[in-house]
A and B are shown apart, each in its own frame.
Chain A
Amino acid sequence: MAMIEIKNLTKFFGAYKAVDDVSFTVKKGEILGFLGPNGAGKSTTMRMITGFIPPSAGTALIGGCDIIEDSLAAREKLGYLPENAPVYPDMTVVRYLDFCARIRGFVEPERSRKVEETLEKCFLTEVTYQSIDTLSKGFKQRVCFAQSILHDPEYLILDEPTDGLDPNQKHEVRQMIRQMSPQKVIILSTHILDEVDAVCSRAIIIANGRIVADATPDALRAQSPSHGAVCVTVGAAAPEPLIQQLTQIEGVKTTEVLAQSDGDLKLRVYPQSDTTVIADSVVASLMQGDVAVKSVFVEQGRLDEVFRNITSNSH
């Protein structure tokens, strides 16, 4: 069965517990976003999954192969992009990828074909013969990413894959990850919330080495306090009567003023619970009055609010 099973991974650095009893399973087709503030233990967890550092306790199974007991077999199945994309500066791009292809067991003529194919896939053809130390940060990142997918691994571990890229490059990398995902198990770490929305089918939030949330991005967003709230913008009006009018509506908890300028008044109306739908009654109530309604929308909730709530509570 194609999956990665993480079992009770724990890591002590001296007396400091960087990763605390982390367990989860990722299946084929899933893209797991590993979220957390800096220093949460994301990289340390990934380093244990890939066999770079030995866990203090627990282990990881890569497609059934134990990364400690059966390390070589497990490592064969993995592609890994470490944080900061380390690559040998004194090699050219093509030589570096050729080296990686040898290590992955490819022999000519397949080796050259693999290298060429990977150069194309990662938009590296223009720098094929360039020395790596002369490349920009974005290109270095892509060279290292190329290395991780060269052997078309079933299991892909990416530590901050879009770190240091410009928005266009970010978009390209995310697209690549999404395209590959149906045949793969992918774990990527990030502290960028947009990224989770853009690529991940599931998110695990980790804080102080512990898992504090594990859900789809939508489910996480639903935990946001603003989830289900109705935002309205109306033409100039005195706020107080309007607030009173809206708060009286059945199912509404409170109403707050978001912004008030000479032309417009922007309000947010909160429902009493996650499941109460208030949009229709809010609109109906507004239509009765004589204010000009300029826009109405229902908030989906915001990941950054959830992220902040969850990761600051756990201290």
Chain B
Amino acid sequence: MNKQSLRNVWAIYTRELAGYFGSPVAYVFIVIFLLLLGFFTFYVSNFFEFGQADLRGFFQWHPWVFVILVPAVAMRLWAEEQRLGTIELLLTFPVSLPQIMLGKFLSAWSFLGIALLLTFPMVFTVIYLGQPDMGGVISGYLGSFLLAGAFLSVGQMTSSMTRSQVVSFILAVVISLFLILAGYPPVNAVLNGWGAPMVLVNLISDLSFLTHFISMQKGIIDLRDVLYFASVIGFMLFAGAVVIQNRRIA
């Protein structure tokens, strides 16, 4: 990447990020995100009664909260440009499509990262409760951030397909849900019960976000998991670019 490419990505990135924080929706999103996680962690997981000084009861809910909230963050990325017609200027600026995709993605990902960082009181709580495995906490957060990025890339792809934010949202939720459920142990058990060969069941669950996410909660940062998320993100950004390139504007 040369200097101007970086400048272009940066220009798109800052514009989008300012867009997030310039609208009240962003703050509403963060509040809902924190409330949902708090509710699940403290009321459903019974965090305190568990009496354990680790964050598993907190992280385990992230996929289910993300599956609803991340598509909501992603839906405006392209749908809004198409609705406003600003896509016509964006795509005729001397900026390449990968630069635009990357700038948009990184800005929304940063926003999700900030929301994630705001859960820091959880970390203090476990430190207060006992001697948490800090490695586990860090790899848990990293896994959660990567998971958010993967959901986001799916959402950006569906957003590029339509000018309607609602359609984008629904598509993203459906695809994301599918990608979680493929690795959800109860679902795998059902597949096994139907007599599906073990190899197939393992393959399906290997393709799931959940399998790799859970693996990262164990306190080990496995390069394969990181690579998995990176390739999902890369693939989805590429798919989004292809959709935009071949869009039939109305």
Contacts and interface: CB of A to CB of B under 8 A. Distances in A.
Interface of A: 47, 50-53, 72-73, 75-76, 78, 80, 82, 84, 86-91, 95, 99-100, 102-105, 107, 144, 147
Interface in B45-103: 84-86, 88-89, 91-96
A77 B18 CA distance: 28
24 contacts: A47-B88, A50-B92, A51-B91, A52-B249, A72-B96, A73-B94, A75-B93, A86-B86, A87-B86, A88-B84, A89-B84, A90-B19, A90-B22, A91-B19, A95-B18, A99-B11, A99-B15, A100-B93, A102-B10, A103-B8, A103-B94, A104-B93, A105-B4, A107-B7
A78 B4 CA distance: 17
Contacts of B10: 102
Given A82-B92, A147-B89, 5 more contacts: A51-B91, A72-B94, A86-B84, A88-B19, A103-B8
B23 interface: yes
B219 to A, nearest CB: 42
A138 to B, nearest CB: 18
A87 B84 CA distance: 8
Contacts of A73: 94
Contacts of A78: 92
B94 A102 contact: no
A75 B92 contact: yes
A82 B89 CA distance: 7
Nearest to A74: B94
Contacts of B95: 103
B20 to A, nearest CB: 10
Contacts, number: 64
Interface of B: 4, 7-8, 10-11, 15, 18-19, 22-23, 84-86, 88-89, 91-96, 249
Contact of B94 (A84, A95, A104, A147): A104
Contacts of A95: 18
Contacts of B8: 102-103
B92 A51 contact: yes
B4 A52 contact: no
B91 A88 contact: no
B16 to A, nearest CB: 10
A102 B7 CA distance: 7
A61 to B, nearest CB: 16
